[in-house]
Amino acid sequence: MIKKILSLFFCMITFSGVICGCDRTPNKMDEYKSLDTDKAAKVALEYMNNKYDKEFQVVSSEKDANYSFVPGAIQDCWCDVEFKIKDSESDETYTVRVINTENKEEYIIKWDNYMTTIATTLVEREINSIISEMKLSNYFIYSWDIGEKGVGGTVGNKGFKPNFHIDIENDTLSSVMEKNEMWVCFNLYLPESDYNKSLVSDFEKTLKSVMSHENLDDYVSVSVLFFDDDYYSEIKKINENGSELPLNHEYKAIHEDVIKLN
Cα gap 93→60, rounded to integer Å: 10
pLDDT of residue 23: 44
Say if residues 168 and 121 touch (Cβ distance below 8 Å): yes
Q: Given this model, what pLDDT does residue 21 score?
A: 42
**What distance in Å separates the CA atoms of residue 83 and residue 56, rounded to the nearest whole number?**
6
Regions of the chain short of the pLDDT cut 50: 1, 3-24
Is the full-model pTM beyond 0.85? no
Contacts of 250 (CB under 8 A, 6+ apart): 187, 223, 225, 256
CATH architecture of 116-261: Roll (3.10)
Question: Which residues, 6+ apart, have CB-to-CB distance to 118 below 8 Å?
Answer: 166, 168
* 84-119 per-position pLDDT tens digit: 999 999 989 999 999 987 666 789 999 999 999 999
Q: What is the pLDDT of residue 132?
A: 87
Amino acid residing at 10: F
pLDDT at 174: 86
pLDDT of residue 34: 86
Q: Which of 86, 83, 67, 63 is nearest to 75 (CA)?
A: 67
For the chain, which residues make up each domain, given as ranges? 29-110, 116-261
pLDDT for 236 equals 97
**Confidence at residue 207, expressed as pLDDT on a 0 to 100 scale:** 87
Are 232 and 194 in contact by the 8 Å Cβ rule? The answer is no
The CA-based diameter of the chain, rounded to the nearest angstrom, is 79
What was the pLDDT predicted at 103?
65
DSSP conformation letters of the chain = -HHHHHHHHHHHHHHHHHHHHHHHS---HHHHHH--HHHHHHHHHHHHHHHHSS-EEEEEEEEEEEEPSSTT-EEEEEEEEEEEETT-S----EEEEEEE-TTSS-EEEEEESTHHHHHHHHHHHHHHHHHHHTT--S-EEEEEEEEETT--EETTEE-B-TT----TTT--HHHHHHHS-EEEEEEEEEEGGG--HHHHHHHHHHHHHHT----TT-EEEEEEEEE-HHHHHHHHHHHHTTPPPPTTGGGG-SEEEEEEE-
